[in-house]
Amino acid sequence: MHAENTLWEKAVAFHGHKCTGLAMGFRVAMAALNALEAERPSDEELVAIVENDSCAVDAIQVITGCTLGKGNLIFRDYGKQIYTFAVRDSGKAIRIEALRLNEDGREELQALRRKVFGGEATEEERQLYRKKVEVAVEEYLSAPLERVVRMKEVKCTLPEKARLFNSVTCALCGEKVMEPRARIKDGQPVCIPCADQYSRGW
First and final CA of the chain: distance in angstroms?
53
pLDDT at 198: 63
Per domain, the residue ranges of the chain are 2-101+143-154, 164-202
Task: Tell me the CATH number for domain 2-101+143-154.
Answer: 3.30.1330.130
Question: By the 8 A CB rule, do 172 and 164 touch?
Answer: no
Question: By the 8 A CB rule, do 97 and 82 touch?
Answer: yes
Question: By the 8 A CB rule, do 64 and 32 touch?
Answer: yes
**Residue 48's beta-bridge partner residues?**
73, 85
CA atoms within 13 A on the CB side of 60: 32
Q: Which residues of the chain have pLDDT under 70?
A: 1-3, 103-104, 197-202
pLDDT at 107: 79
Q: Do domains 2-101+143-154 and 164-202 have the same CATH topology?
A: no
Task: Tell me the CATH number for domain 164-202.
Answer: 3.30.60.20
Burial class (CB in 10 A: 0-12, 13-18, 19+), 183: middle
pLDDT at 49: 97
